[in-house]
Amino acid sequence: MNDTGNVPNDGETGDPAAVSNLLTPGQPSSATSKILVVLFGTVLVIGGIYVSSPDNVSDNLSLERKGFDDEDNRKHLVGYKTPWIAEGINNPEIRPVSKTRFADATPVIGITMGGKHRAYPLVTLLASFTREGSSGAVVNDKLGGKPVTVTSDSDIGLIRVFRLAQGSAKKKIGLWLIGRDDGGGMLLSFNTESDFRQDAEKIPDLEVQPFVKQTLSEWRSAHPETDVYVGEFPTPDLQMEATLQHMTPEERDVADPLLAERDRKNKILSPKKKKRQDDAAKSSPAGDGPVKPSSGLRDSGKKVKSQ
């Protein structure tokens, strides 16, 4: 007597060969194969939706800037008020103009205070950060014995220079970069606890210091005794490299070979060549070690104390 309760349904004979033919083209589709296809498609759709949806884990912004949450990162990108605290440059690198190699046509701002003159190349005032974490867009300096701070918002092309206001009890300025205000604009602070906009009409304890915007050549002609703020370009080769786009063909004829020679001498040695040089140095008699050649580019920088 046959047990009809155990009779396999169509496509479910229990034969392994039959099971392997469930999804074979040209074969009739069973109920099981149809269910599997629907489930597989559903998983793909749900997985695609999950992957394409941003969240606190997958948002790249939270990984690129440690210390800021996702919302602050988004606000910074679109110009909303965002914290970005960094002190300004407090010990600016100054050189006599005769010891610098910026291109003659380099745009600068020139400031005169207390009978002293100083040029600040715009390339040194970009909104970048030094190795110490200071903001290159805020330079707390001293000129002619008086505090002066140069601020540069390169996003909107606004440069403002501040000095202490008459009657201020402060002895120095020492501004910090705090971040961006709503809709853009640089936020500054004396103490990181309160802030004000760079373009504010009135700022407690500060007043605007006049300056002129010229080329370095024009400023130097008017003030031959000027010195120059060099920022992150303390050596002549870096100064030339930073202002190649402002150079005349004659200046490039001088700069290009010097920079090429510098790069040749500073290139990374292969492990074998470095080992041969190290072995040669060890085998040299005491006092007769090889003398490192100098291109003459990095030895001519003379730092001038801010006055």
Sequence spans of domains, the chain? 81-242
Per-residue pLDDT, 285: 61
Q: Whose CA is closest to 160, among 123, 207, 128?
A: 207
Least confident of 14-23, 93-102, 109-118: 14-23
- Give the up-direction half-sphere exposure of residue 217: CA atoms within 13 A in the CB hemisphere: 7
Tell me phi and psi for residue 177, to 5 degrees: -90, 125
The pLDDT of residue 128: 83
68 Cβ partners below 8 Å, 6+ apart? 62, 76, 82, 83
Cβ atoms < 10 Å from Cβ of 215: 18
Taking the C-alpha atoms of residue 108 and residue 222, their distance in angstroms, rounded to an integer, is 13
150-209 pLDDT, tens digit per residue, is 999 988 899 999 999 999 999 999 999 998 887 778 999 998 888 999 999 999 999 999
Q: Which residues pair with 89 in a beta bridge?
A: 139
pTM higher than the cut 0.85: no
Q: How far apart are CA 259 and CA 262, in angstroms?
A: 5
- List CB contacts of 109: < 8 A, sequence separation 6 or more: 119, 120, 122, 150, 159, 161, 211, 212, 213
Given a contact cutoff of 8 angstroms between Cβ atoms, the answer to whether 76 and 84 are in contact is: yes
- Judge whether residue 96 has pLDDT over 90: yes
For 117-138, the pLDDT digits (tens) are: 999 999 999 888 888 888 999 9
Length of the chain equals 307
pLDDT of residue 294: 42
The pLDDT value given to residue 269 = 57
What are the pLDDT digits (tens) for 44-81?
Answer: 777 777 655 554 443 444 444 444 455 555 555 445 55
Q: What are phi and psi of 151, to 5 degrees?
A: -125, 140
Amino acid at 212: V
More confident position, 245 or 267:
245
- The overall average pLDDT reported for the chain is 79
